[in-house]
Structure 1
Amino acid sequence: MSWLKRAGILPWVLLAIVLGILCGQFFNDPIAKIFVTFNSVFSQLLNFSIPLIIVGLVIPAIADLGRGAGKWLGITAGIAYTSTVIGAFLTYFTCKALYPHILNAGAFDNVEEASDGLEPYFTIEIPAVFDVMTALILSFVVGIGIALVPKGVMRKGFIEFREIITGLIEKVIIPLLPLHIFGIFLNLTMTGEVVEIISVLLKVVVLVIALEVVILLLQFGAAGAVAGRNPFKALWTMLPAYMTALGTSSSAATIPVTLRQTLKNGVSHPVASFVVPLCATIHLSGSASKITAFSLAIITVNSLPVSTAQLIGFMFMLGIIMIAAPGVPGGAIMAAVGLLQSMLGFGDADVALMIATYIALDSFGTATNVTGDGAIALAVDRFAKKELEENHRQDAEEFEPESYLEEVRAGGSPAKAGNAEAESGSQS
């Protein structure tokens, strides 16, 4: 079993997917509803935890970035927006060239809105303390404020809070993720939702998946050039995050795995803790690509009178909407409904079709989103590292600089830096 421990969560995720599909062939409803009930409770726990994860990771990360936090926030948001818009435009030009040859009018006539699947035996409501956007704004305001007073009491408190959140992630969320993914694939297999929808949209699906691979190659190619890293090795390191997102269909729920793999790519801990939770909400290049592809498919098969200028405006606005979309399953398409209606003239039936197809294939776009977050982290780390090290040296009175920097480079946490020598001594 030692190889499983070294491999991390990836083999467990793959096993959960395979078993979910196989068990869906012969499990009866009463047994399946046990796992559906677990998923219902676990989803409530995730929804409760996600804002706390953002606050717990982003605030101390901004504090570590020091007075430059506002600058790095703007740079990260700008990179995320640019990446999202480029993904949309790449999809637009590709689909514009291929759809007239592979799609015919009436191709979506047999597609029905996805059903809700099996119902759990019971549900437990666990309301979040605040929503995701509130958590982000609170993190920016408090984090930048703490950065202006780097030796204040609040900074120490939020560093300790980060340790609590890290424990929640490592000891609760990550160990339960494979079981959650098993339940998702079990439910989808038994209800047949994905099979029915993919059978109708097969041509579009294949094209979208190919495009999202190209998007990832472009993102890591650019990040590798900026950071001086091997882009293929960096992309391979992010594979566990990609596979986890395939199961969860949630950028926010995949934050723990994305963060861990980003650290394995050599990104410093403060930058990774800042960029990954932030980009889980604002960087949705895969979702933008998928929404663009499905929108153009509906326009093509229904011969809707949408001009090129309308589509260009739609894609630029889509990039902004994706920044505000929550990193939860279906969050991107729900945020984009207003644009589909106002800018593309989609009616109720068209919007229902978009929602059904998007949610059925949500995991592929989400996987692209979270994997691309690792590329953005590489690029930001390339420019932020010197400033980070300078800020750490200024904090010498609170932490031993050498042990702290060694812990950061190793992917550890500031609170543990002071014990680095003791731990290494005991291990030897």
Structure 2
Amino acid sequence: MKKFRISLLGQVLIAIAAGVLLGQFLPIPLARVFVTFNGLFGNFLNFAIPLIIIGLIIPAIADLGKGAGRLLLITALIAYGSTIFSGFFTYFTGEAIFPRLIAGSTQSAAAIDSSAATTLKPFFTVEMPAPFDIMTALLLSFCIGLGLSAIQGNTLRMAASDLRDIISLLIEKVIIPLLPLHIFGIFLNMTLSGQVASIISVFVKIIVVIFVLHILLLLIQFSLAGLVARKNPLRLLKNMLPAYATALGSQSSAATIPVTLAQTLKNGVSKNIATFVIPLCATIHLSGSTMKITACAMAIMMMAGMPVHTLDFSGFILMLGITMVAAPGVPGGAIMAALGILESMLGFDETAQALMIALYIAMDSFGTACNVTGDGAIAVVVDRINGKSGHLMQRP
């Protein structure tokens, strides 16, 4: 018989509901057990974040050195530009809308501030210092990754690949399975502090706004693609709907590649370009994920009473576009890869990170669907550029 499994989204929703429900009557000594677990898991996560950055980003950047030369650069720049546009589009929209949505819920700041929200103390804590700080991990990853993409040697490349496999196992077998329990503890603690209702009401509003924004983003992407290629943008978008629907169900860019490729060919993109661009963009184009992370980060900071500055978020979005390259292929990879810069650039603590994970996972399907559908728009643009440039790429 086929083994029944609950999806990560289902586990997170169950954890949130259980935290809210049990927080009403759970005995204090038992609640402190979960507070203790949260402290241990949070410390372990802080230890693991630099390792996750190095293990995922180095091989991801190194692999970008393989490909079709100039066409690879063109595709990467368009994908990065789309991802960055998504971040700034979300930021300025959120700056205009979120304050009104969150108005009246600023009292939830105490629930998001870990120092105020922790009404219960853990039985004990174990310090787990990170091997190096976040910025060191990022700089080291960029330097080694770019160096590997430029040289012919395979020794360090194979070591980076093995490290990626180890880190992927760490995420898949340890961190992801324990995340629902961690989120349960966070919402249990919030319920005890009496602030969970206002936070959940804001979360629902933010999810609705992000859903509308990602539809608008797709319309913008395909309008630009249609303008460049001189094709009907609505017809281009309509042809990509099967890929959108598949991504909603699978929650995986990689698993959706065959459908995305087939629908891209229906949009008139040459086979050589489609078979090159679609798998590549499944790795480097994450406009939907960037939108979710930017919006969620803004909402949590506003609820916590943290200042939201354009300059700070500009640097964060530019760095996020690069960091997202490491995300595909790993369950929860996008948010896990982003935790480092959320901490180092925006000052997110353990509780804010847990809320970020919960809110992100609640919209995981929509972000993936936005990512893969937008890949079709990029393929249309690259195909047009390739045709006008005398066919830079004859073979994938």
TM-score range, shorter chain: 0.5 to 0.7
- C-alpha change, 1:37 and 1:204, in structure 2 (3 Å) is closer
Equivalences for 1:336-415 in 2 at 5 Å?
336-385=338-387
2:253 to 251, 254, 258: 251
**Over residues 140-182 of structure 1, what are the superposed CA-to-partner deviations in whole Å (9 max), with x where a residue is unaligned?**
899xxxxxxxxxxxxxxxxxxxxxxxxxxxxxxxxxxxxxxxx
Deviation at 1:329, TM superposition (A): 3.6
Q: 1:330 to 1:38 in 2, by over 3 A?
A: closer
Alpha-carbon distance between aligned partners in 2 of 1:100 and 1:38, rounded to the nearest angstrom: 33
In structure 1, the partner of 2:5 is 36
State how far apart, in whole Å, the 1-side matches of 2:389 and 2:287 are.
Answer: 28
When residues 386 and 94 of structure 1 are mapped into structure 2, their CA distance, relative to the original with a 3 A threshold, is: closer
2:328 alignment partner, SS class: coil
1:272 is the counterpart of 2:297: no
- Which residue number in structure 1 is paired with residue 212 of structure 2? 210
For 2:285 and 2:234, how far apart are their aligned partners in 1?
21
Which residue does the alignment assign to 2:76? 77
2:299 and 2:292 mapped to 1: Cα distance? 10
Name the structure 1 match of 2:121: none
In 2, Cα distance between equivalents of 1:84 and 1:38? 27
TM superposition shift of 1:237: 0.5
Contact kept in structure 1, 2:71 and 2:393, CA below 8 Å:
no
Task: Kindly indicate whether the alpha-carbon contact (under 8 Å) linking 1:241 and 1:371 is maintained by their aligned counterparts in 2.
Answer: yes
Alpha-carbon separation, structure 1, partners of 2:355 and 2:330: 20
Report the Cα distance in structure 1 between the residues aligned to 2:264 and 2:331, rounded to whole angstroms.
22
Q: Do 2:298 and 2:308's aligned partners in 1 also have CA atoms closer than 8 Å? A: no
In structure 2, the partner of 1:223 is: 225
SS at match of 1:277: helix
The alpha carbon displacement at 1:331 in A equals 1.4
In 2: Cα distance, 1:216 partner to 1:390 partner = 27
The answer to whether the 8 Å contact 1:223/1:378 transfers is: yes
Q: Give yes or no for the alignment of 1:88 onto 2:87.
A: yes
Partner of 1:303: 305
Name the CA distance, whole Å, in 2 between partners of 1:301 and 1:257: 39
Write the distance in 1 (CA, Å) between the matches of 2:390 and 2:251. Answer: 33
Q: Deviations for 1:8-45, whole angstroms, at most 9, x for unmatched residues?
A: xxxxxxxxxxxxxxxxxxxxxxx8x7242999xxxxxx
For residues 84 and 38 of structure 1, do their structure 2 counterparts lie closer, same or farther at Cα, with a shift above 3 Å needed?
A: closer
Using the TM superposition, give the Cα deviation of residue 200 of structure 1 relative to its aligned residue in structure 2, in angstroms: 5.7
Aligned residues: 265
Distance 1:213 1:391, change over 3 A: closer
Q: How does 1:5-404 map to 2 (within 5 A)?
A: 34-36=3-5, 69-103=68-102, 104-106=105-107, 201-385=203-387
Residue identity matched to 1:215: L
The one-letter amino acid paired with 1:226 is: V
Hey, what's the Cα distance between the residues in 2 that align with 1:35 and 1:388? 53
Instruction: Compute the TM-score of the two structures, normalised by the length of structure 2.
Output: 0.60
CA distance in structure 2 between the aligned counterparts of 1:346 and 1:312, rounded to whole angstroms: 16
Q: 1:381 to 1:36 in 2, by over 3 A?
A: same
The aligned amino acid for 1:96 is E
Q: Cα deviations across residues 201-258 of structure 1 (Å, max 9, x unaligned)?
A: 2210110011111111110000101011110000010001111111111111211111
TM-score (norm 1): 0.55
Contact kept? 2:326, 2:333, Cα under 8 Å: no
1:83-119 per-residue CA deviation (whole Å, 9 max, x = no partner) reads 0111110110111111111112255959xxxxxxxxx
Q: Distance in 1 between matches of 2:327 and 2:225?
A: 24
- Pair 1:375–1:390, CA change in 2 (3 A): closer
Contact 2:302–2:308 under 8 Å retained in 1:
no
Distance in 2 between the 1:294 and 1:35 partners? Answer: 31
Amino acid at match of 1:105: T
Letter of the 2:255 counterpart? A
Does the CA contact (< 8 Å) of 1:253 and 1:328 recur in 2? no
State the distance in 2 between where 1:236 and 1:252 align.
21
Alpha-carbon spacing, 1:262–1:97, altered in 2? closer, same or farther (3 Å): same
> Secondary structure of the equivalent of 2:106?
coil
Distance 1:342 1:214, change over 3 A: same
Matching residue's letter, 1:288: T
Larger displacement relative to structure 2 (83-92 or 98-107): 98-107
Deviation at 1:325, TM superposition (A): 2.1
Q: Distance in 2 between matches of 1:362 and 1:329?
A: 10
Aligned to 1:49: none
Secondary structure in structure 1 of the residue aligned to 2:346: coil
Secondary structure of residue in 2 paired with 1:254? helix
Aligned to 2:142: none
CA distance 1:107–1:255, change in 2 (3 Å): farther
1:324 CA displacement: 2.9
Matched position secondary structure for 1:36: coil
Aligned equivalents of 1:254, 1:306: Cα separation in 2 = 36
Letter in 2 for 1:292: T
Give, in angstroms, the shift of residue 391 of structure 1: 6.6
Query: Residues 199 and 265 (structure 1 numbering): CA distance in 2 closer, same or farther, change over 3 Å?
Result: farther
Say whether the 8 Å CA contact 1:84–1:319 is kept in structure 2: yes
Partner Cα distance (1:229, 1:141) in 2: 38
Instruction: Report the Cα offset of residue 388 of structure 1.
Output: 7.3
Q: Calculate the aligned-residue CA RMSD, in Å.
A: 3.7
Q: Using the alignment, how far apart are the partners of 1:231 and 1:309 within structure 2?
A: 34
